[in-house]
Amino acid sequence: MDVSQPPRRYNDKRKEYLEWNDYFMATAVLSAKRSKDPVTQVGACIVDQKNRVVAIGYNGFPRNCSDDEFPWGKSDAKQSLEHKYMYVVHAEANAILNSNCTSLDGTRLFTTLFPCNECAKLIIQSGIQQIYFISDKYEGHTATIASKRMLDAAGVLYSRHVPKQQKILIDFAEFLDEN
Ligand SMILES: O=c1ccn([C@H]2C[C@H](O)[C@@H](COP(=O)(O)O)O2)c(=O)[nH]1
Ligand SMILES: [Zn+2]
């Protein structure tokens, strides 16, 4: 028992719960774990005004385009037809396309990577109002500059997600009946 902490009363609420934005970004991170891209795995999660997750996506090849047949390479491939960029559907695009609601107006997007210019177009057109991201590793690249230019013009807000909880452990064993 931790004697430095006052004992928790039965009726007190649990204090270690995930706050909303960490929960949504963690959902995006978990989704990124599905990506087969060997270099950059991206996950996205879209949330409505009632804090309901309405869409999830990660970067991957289109349906029926096999992860084992289409190329995952980039700079080492001589021909552009052998670059992944020709084929990958971006995480944000997949989330928008997979959305389970008719309108994304006023929603928030949580993404592990700052959206590129092509995703920015979709974000703006679908009515997403705010973006939270973790990595901006392509900051200064043409696609990111164009993306920010469009998002600024359209009034879509964006900011880096500042986690309250730095690490979240998933231990399936915790949920076994013996516990
Ligand atoms: O807005 C974006 C930008 C990129 N992605 C995906 C596309 C690719 O699969 C990777 C980027 O690969 P690099 O090897 O880091 O160039 O990220 C995305 O999903 N959304
Ligand atoms: Zn993109």
pLDDT at 11: 85
Q: Torsion angle, CA of 143/128/154/22, rounded to 10 degrees?
A: -70
**DSSP annotation of 19:** P
Q: Does the beta carbon of 47 sit less than 6 angstroms from any atom of ligand 1?
A: no
Binding residues for Zn(2+): 90, 116, 119
Question: Which active-site residues does the annotation give?
Answer: 92
Tokens found for residue 153:
């013009």
Query: Two tokens at 173?
Result: 């064993």
* Host H or E run for residue 47: strand 43-47
CB 43 within 8 A of CB 60: no
Residue 151 near ligand 1, beta carbon < 6 Å: no
User: C-alpha 159: how far from its chain's center?
Assistant: 13
Listed as ranges, residues in the chain with pLDDT below 50 are none
Predicted local distance difference test score (pLDDT) of residue 177: 86
pLDDT at 125: 98
To test ligand 1's pocket by mutation, which of 116, 131, 156 has the most ligand atoms within 8 angstroms of CB?
A: 116
The residue whose CA is least distant from atom 14 of ligand 1 is 39
Residue 25 tokens read as 């970004």
Q: What pLDDT is recorded for position 155?
A: 98
Query: How far does the centroid of ligand 1 lie from the alpha carbon of residue 90, in Å?
Result: 6
Which domains, ranges and CATH numbers included, belong to the chain?
20-60+91-161 (3.40.140.10)
